[in-house]
């Protein structure tokens, strides 16, 4: 441990391999301390987007259409399962949709984990665009699409806005953060996972929506205890290294 500093302040640098959190305090004589306190990991949350379906492979919008994984998707989930086999998941939160359930079950076979369905993690309702090709939507409905992308309160006719998803995801995120488990897996969808990211990092919906996530990819969040409350870091985002082999 080393000491030093300007204007009578002292800095304490503990020898540790843990991440350090800057924390200021006063000693009994009123002198300011700049402490670097080791942060202990309270939770690890791994967020997965479901593996691929035939709709994904054909660039079809897939909101509430409840399709199962295709062969490519099952292979993606198997690779992800092997990659995450040492994570020791205690609980798996997942969407009630088939593609998320199947992805969760394939990953979970290597773990003795509780499964918990979160209705709020159902994918965004894209209304009349469900099942339509991405290119056709761009070409035939450019104004609707533009407004939906730029305005978080604009919904596709018959569907939801991003803010609708953002709000309904919140109770599920609170359940994750409030559960006693330390090693947590969450399996969701493209839009849902963006909203989960936003709530974990206390982001506004606009920047949260800009984060993409591929089928079968995972992101890892480390949640630390600090003197000022929880501190969340993104250890990785949209990791697809297991799919490249």
Summarize pLDDT for 98-157 with one digit per residue, the tens: 999 999 999 999 999 999 999 999 999 999 999 999 899 999 999 999 999 999 999 999
Share of the chain above pLDDT 70, in %: 85
Q: How many CA atoms lie within 13 A of 57 on its CB side?
A: 13
Arithmetic mean of pLDDT, 52-76: 96
- Give residue-wise pLDDT tens across range 6-43: 444 344 444 445 565 555 666 677 676 656 666 788 99
Q: Specify burial of residue 30 (Cβ count, 10 A radius: 0-12, 13-18, 19+).
A: exposed
> First vs last Cα of the chain: how many Å apart?
44
Predicted local distance difference test score (pLDDT) of residue 20: 59
Question: Taking 70 as the threshold, does the pLDDT of residue 1 lie above it?
Answer: no
Q: Domains in the chain, please, with CATH?
A: 10-38 (no CATH), 41-124+166-243 (3.40.50.1240)
Q: How many CA atoms lie within 13 A of 232 on its CB side?
A: 17
The three-point CA angle 69-192-148 to 5° equals 110
- Give residue-wise pLDDT tens across range 75-86: 999 999 999 999
């Amino acid at each position: 441990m080393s000491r030093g500093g300007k204007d009578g302040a002292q800095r304490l640098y503990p020898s540790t391999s843990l991440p350090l959190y800057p924390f200021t305090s006063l000693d009994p004589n009123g002198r300011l301390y700049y402490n670097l306190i080791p942060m202990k990991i309270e939770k690890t949350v791994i967020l997965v987007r479901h593996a691929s379906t035939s709709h994904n492979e054909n660039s079809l919008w897939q909101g509430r259409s409840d399709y199962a994984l295709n062969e490519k998707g099952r292979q993606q989930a198997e690779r992800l399962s092997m990659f995450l086999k040492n994570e020791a998941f205690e609980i798996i939160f997942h969407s009630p949709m088939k593609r998320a359930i199947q992805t969760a079950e394939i990953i979970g076979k290597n773990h003795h984990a509780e499964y918990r369905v979160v209705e709020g993690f159902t994918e965004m309702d894209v209304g009349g665009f469900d099942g339509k090709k991405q290119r056709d939507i761009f070409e035939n409905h450019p104004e609707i699409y533009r407004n939906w992308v730029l305005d978080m309160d604009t919904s596709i006719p018959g569907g939801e806005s991003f803010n609708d998803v953002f709000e309904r995801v919140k109770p599920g995120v609170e359940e994750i953060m409030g559960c006693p488990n330390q090693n947590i897996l969450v399996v969701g969808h493209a839009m849902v996972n963006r909203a989960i990211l936003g709530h974990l990092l206390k982001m506004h919906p606009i920047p949260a929506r800009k984060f993409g996530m591929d089928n079968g990819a995972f992101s890892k969040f480390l949640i630390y205890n600090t003197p000022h409350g929880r501190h969340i870091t993104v250890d990785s985002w949209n990791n697809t290294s297991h799919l490249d082999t």
